[in-house]
Amino acid sequence: MQRIKLVAVDLDDTLLRDDLTISEYSQEILRRVRESGVVVTISTGRMLPSARPYAEQLGFDVPLITYQGALVKNVFSGEIVYHCPLNEEVARLVIQYGRKKGIHVNFYLEDELYVERVTPVGEHYEQLAGVPFTRVNDLEELLETGLPYKLLLIQEEQLIDQSLQELREILQREGLDAHLTKSKPTYLEVNHPKATKGTALKTLADWLGVSREEVMACGDSFNDLEMLDFAGCSVAVANAHPEVRSKAKYITASNNEDGVARALEKLVLRRAELSR
């Protein structure tokens, strides 16, 4: 394995513990990795404002992969490396589908979160993300203002796969394309087909002049698959979905057991010491 020069880490259920915090041990390992000259960034489905506190806590003065890969931006300098919002026709169709089915829909526009209805699942999301939502009468009217980075449908776990399949069929029937994936058992993410963590990570690696063999990615869920596939060194935490674990080259401890830090210590820090 080549020496790692770029590390992309998912937040929820990967780097973050279940209480949404990062242990002192993990913070120390991340600091040591960065001091060794490796670029470490966040790769998340979260909004940029939701990822920002963690970037500030960890001192990640680098472009962050956010909105599932739709925006790669440095929160400190404001520099944008990649920008790929959702297609208007797709967004309109998904909004209409969610409204018809009574599914909660999050609309992400210019680092703001909008909803049509205030729901328990929406309020729970607001607490997890740490970003307040704004209620509007019609999400479709927002499309006249600009295109969203993504849409998120929140639904019961036993129904989400059915909605995913139905949306795929509807989009195909209309001759439209989108990237549909699950970030959590109840979260259905809708993005531009070129807005994935994998595409965003490749773009960032190219921007930094780093080859895929020099990239390490850590994740846990279906929305991490493209990122894990691109990275030369792919790591899944022990609590990852079985399908995700099967695609990773390495399995580390769970998110509650400093899995990311343990993998970094073994695959980056110790290898760096051996190569000296």
Parent domain of 148:
88-191
pLDDT confidence bin for 197, thresholds 50/70/90? very high
Indicate whether 213 belongs to any domain: yes
Whether residue 149 sits in one domain with residue 13: no
- Rounded mean pLDDT, 43-63: 97
Q: Which CATH number covers residue 184? A: 3.30.1240.10
Cα–Cα distance list, 163 to 68, 94, 152, 170, 186 (Å): 19, 10, 12, 10, 11
Q: Is the pLDDT at 276 greater than 50, yes or no?
A: no
Q: Percent of the chain scored above 90 by pLDDT?
A: 96
- Rounded mean pLDDT, 39-68: 98
Whether residue 116 sits in one domain with residue 46: no
Domain boundary (191, 206, 227) is at 191
Whether residue 95 sits in one domain with residue 79: no
Whether residue 94 sits in one domain with residue 227: no
Indicate whether 266 belongs to any domain: yes
Indicate whether 1 belongs to any domain: no
Q: Is the pLDDT at 152 greater than 50, yes or no?
A: yes
Domain boundary (191, 219, 254) is at 191
Whether residue 142 sits in one domain with residue 20: no
- Rounded mean pLDDT, 73-89: 97
Whether residue 227 sits in one domain with residue 215: yes
**109-142: buried (b, 16+ CB within 10 Å) or exposed (e) per residue?**
bebebbbbeeeebbeebbeebebebeeeeebbeb
Q: Is the pLDDT at 77 greater than 90, yes or no?
A: yes
Whether residue 177 sits in one domain with residue 92: yes
Q: Which CATH number covers residue 220? A: 3.40.50.1000
Whether residue 52 sits in one domain with residue 123: no
**Average pLDDT of every residue of the chain:** 96
Whether residue 125 sits in one domain with residue 108: yes
- Rounded mean pLDDT, 16-26: 98
Domain boundary (191, 220, 252) is at 191
Instruction: Report how many domains make up the chain.
Output: 2
Whether residue 187 sits in one domain with residue 92: yes
**C-alpha span between 5 and 138 (Å, rounded):** 45
Q: What is the pLDDT of residues 59-72, one digit of tens each?
A: 999 999 999 999 99
Tell me the whole-structure pTM to 2 decimals. Answer: 0.94
- Rounded mean pLDDT, 130-153: 97
Whether residue 172 sits in one domain with residue 120: yes
